Structures are given as C-alpha cells and as structure tokens.
C-alpha cells in the first residue's frame, strides 16, 4: 500500500526536519540485500532483521524510515543511516 501523497508532502525527519521521499526500487533492493546479509543497524545500534516492503528516505539521502501497511514509522531511534551501505545508489 503506497503512502498517501498529501501525507508525504508534510512528512519530514523527526530529528533534522529534512523532507522525505519514497525509496526507489533500486535503493530498496540494496537495503533489503544488506538486511538479508546481516549487519544493518538502526540509529540506536539495534539490528534490522526484517526487509522493508516500502520505505522513505530523507531528501539529503542520510536516513531511511520504514513504511508498514501504508504508515510511515517516523521514530527517530528507528531510522536507518545510509552510510552503512557501500553500494547505496546515488
């Protein structure tokens, strides 16, 4: 289920206040491959074990937030930093 466009227009990172956009399919594939291989951590250093069906990324491409059943999980401690992905497109 895709996130509502009107909601997407007002969402931003709860820490930096940078706007977010949907993660592109190539970006999502890189993230999910890394999750499957292990070693992906959220910003609180907890392992991320479940792949993302959908996600948002800040427009500065620094933090990813998962979307569950069309609801963005915009919790500061559950964001995933993109610097841990060596092959993140961009």
Gyration radius of the chain over CA positions: 12
Residue 90 predicted with pLDDT over 90 = no
Report yes or no on 90 lying in a domain.
no
Mean pLDDT of 44-72: 95
> Over the range 65-76, which residues count as b (16 or more CB within 10 Å of their CB) and which as e?
bbbeeeebebee
Q: What angle do CA 71, 85, 87 make, to 5 degrees?
A: 115
What average pLDDT does the chain have? 93
Report yes or no on 25 lying in a domain.
yes
Report yes or no on 89 lying in a domain.
no
Confidence label for 33 from pLDDT (cuts 50, 70 and 90):
very high
Range of the structural domain that residue 48 is part of: 5-84
What is the tally of structural domains in the chain?
A: 1
* Both tokens assigned to 13: 């990172």
At 37, give phi and psi (nearest 5°).
-80, -15
Mean pLDDT of 43-62: 96
**Residue 80 neighbours by CB distance under 10 Å:** 21
pLDDT at 62: 95
pLDDT at 1: 62
pTM value is: 0.93
């Amino acid at each position: 289920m895709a996130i509502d466009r009107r909601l997407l227009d007002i969402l931003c990172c709860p820490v930096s206040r940078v706007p977010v956009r949907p993660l592109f399919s190539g970006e999502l594939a890189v993230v999910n491959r890394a999750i499957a291989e292990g070693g992906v951590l959220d910003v609180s250093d907890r392992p991320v074990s479940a792949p993302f069906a959908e996600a948002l990324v800040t427009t500065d491409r620094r933090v990813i937030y998962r979307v569950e059943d069309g609801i963005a999980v915009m919790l500061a401690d559950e964001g995933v930093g993109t610097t841990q992905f060596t092959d993140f497109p961009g």
